[in-house]
Amino acid sequence: MTSSTLQNVLTGAVLTAVVATAVPLRAADTDLAPLALQLPLPTLKGTPEDLPKGPNIEPLSEKPRPPFLAPKGVKNVALNKKVIASVKNPFNGDLAQVTDGTKEAFDDQVVELRSGVQWVQVDLGEACDIYAVVIWHDHRWLQVFRSVVVLSADDPDFIQNVKPLFNNDAENVAGLGIGSDKQYFETRQGKLVPVPNGLKTRYLRFYTKGSNLSGLNCYQEIEVYGQPAK
């Protein structure tokens, strides 16, 4: 499915993604629990002096992310699920690594796709109620990936019930609509995208167009927290 076709599908939808909150659901506290994330080990990389700056970039923070509350019993429903991409053969790594549960800052754990606007797509295998998505593009270095867009859909061609979950593509480079979310630095904590009130979906697609350090599009791990839809 081309970007222009997908943009037509999204016409009339809310193109700016949902706002992140520490507690995305309205429910009794007894129904929620902090999301248990397995973070990769810290690295010894230093902080460059020429980090990207600007009003559209979140300031780099050393503080741990506040606990994210989700319904009790949710798990990573993307673990070991099928991944396809806009390119058949990555420059480095295998697409199966995107959901293999490993996200350490090692060269052999990074899947590298060619430059330009590219995407990877995760098939959850069945419709699931999801509450959060966590992305590690490449935390080997402090860098900012460009034109990050996350979409969900009910079908693999992204025609049915397409919804934007995150979009920091302020210049509409990917052709999917102008996003108002901020760019962010890659760290061991990954980028947590909340899904307030939950969402029933099966397919998720993740776009980027390189980073401030490289034209390559990289992925270490994608996790989707939810449960099979009732």
Is 58 part of a structural domain of the chain?
no
Q: In this structure, is residue 43 part of a structural domain?
A: no
**Residue 49 covered by a domain:** no
Q: What is the CATH number of the domain that holds 114?
A: 2.60.120.260
Domain of residue 97, residue span: 3-29+68-228
190 lies in some domain: yes
| Cα 44-48-49 angle, rounded to 5 deg | 145
Residue 45 inside a domain? The answer is no
> Is position 61 within any domain?
no
| C-beta atoms surrounding 186 within 10 Å | 23
Give bridge partners of residue 128 from the DSSP assignment.
201, 228
Q: Are strands 32-34 and 69-71 parallel, antiparallel or unpaired?
A: antiparallel
Domain for residue 128, yes or no? yes
> Is 79 exposed, middle or buried (CB count within 10 Å of its CB: 0-12, 13-18, 19+)?
middle
Q: What is the mean pLDDT of each run of 10 residues along the chain (230 residues)?
A: 54 41 48 95 80 93 92 97 96 97 96 98 98 97 97 98 98 97 97 97 98 97 96
Residue 75 counted as domain residue: yes
- Per-residue pLDDT at 22: 42
Domain tally for the chain? 1
pLDDT of amino acid 30: 67
Q: Is 83:98 a contact under the CB 8 Å cutoff?
A: yes
Angle in degrees, CA 110, 113, 116, rounded to 5: 140
